[in-house]
Amino acid sequence: MTEETNTQVVPNSESPIDSCGCIERGRTGAPQRPTRFHGELQDTTAPGWIRLLELVEEAAADRREEFKPLVELTAEQRRQVVTLPPTIAKLTAVKHLVLYRSNLVRIPPEIGAMRSLEEFTPYTSYRLHWFPYELTRCANLRRSTVSTRALYGNYKFRAPFPLLPAPADGRHGLGDLDPGVWGATAIRTCSVCDRRIEKSGDLRQVWISRWTSGADVLPLLVNACSAACVDALPVPANGYVPVPHSGGPGVEQPPAGRMPEWRAGG
């Protein structure tokens, strides 16, 4: 399925990627306009997507420890990929995932199944503004290289987090969603307890900023099945919003421009 968006191609000798104006750089301390999830839908008929599916299967079969799928695609094919397939859950031997200069706008929660992951490199993926909470399930993750200035809530600019929807009418399912509203086209399980979420009325979405490696504090989207699972979330990182929150321009963030200190457990 394909959805056209108003984007601009950035000329580059390595790969053309689409730009976005979600994060207003250079405005340290100044009020920023509200942000919104990217709404692009993955075109599952695109050659880049089809080739990516093949590369995931190859990597799972040979149990490789480093996975750099984008270098196997042409420049135009790389531009066609805006997310990763759920089949990345098969990559249980991968220790280093490299997504350098991607056109990605979201990472699926299945990344949490990559239990051997030690290093994560989505560097210069400037349209990737947040990550799934399931990334915290990668217990061996120790190193990451992320373009932090492109992240929601980053300490340089404190870009606002998108406002998350309130629990909806419980009669509606979660299999055909607008990613521009929910951050995904489908939500199946709880980010905290892994229980299946059947209806939108059971879903509670919150943001939390956490250290996911020794290098980066990342904005993480939590899809929780209950208020109890929200309450079970750990304390956010020092120097960021101190509680899980629903985003929006009304959320008060610490002042911009100074790197927060790291503390154990924070």
Q: In this structure, is residue 36 part of a structural domain?
A: no
Q: In this structure, is residue 31 part of a structural domain?
A: no
Q: In this structure, is residue 256 part of a structural domain?
A: no
What pTM was estimated for this model as a whole? 0.90
Q: In this structure, is residue 185 part of a structural domain?
A: yes
pLDDT band at 30; cut points 50, 70, 90: low
Q: In this structure, is residue 15 part of a structural domain?
A: no
Strand ranges for the chain from DSSP E: 9-10, 17-18, 66-67, 96-98, 119-121, 131-132, 143-144, 204-211, 217-224
Q: In this structure, is residue 72 part of a structural domain?
A: yes
Domain count of the fold of the chain: 1
Q: Name, in order, each residue with C-beta under 8 angstroms of 248's C-beta and a sequence gap of 6 or more.
A: 34, 160, 161, 162, 163, 164
Over the stretch 67-76, which tens digit does the pLDDT of each residue have?
999 999 999 9
Over the stretch 130-185, which tens digit does the pLDDT of each residue have?
999 999 999 999 999 999 999 999 999 899 999 999 876 666 678 889 999 999 99
Helix (H) or strand (E) holding 79: helix 75-79
Domain housing 193: 42-231
Q: In this structure, is residue 113 part of a structural domain?
A: yes
d(CA 242, CA 70): 36
Mode of pairing for the β-strands spanning 119-121 and 143-144: parallel
Over the stretch 77-112, which tens digit does the pLDDT of each residue have?
999 999 999 999 999 999 999 999 999 999 999 999
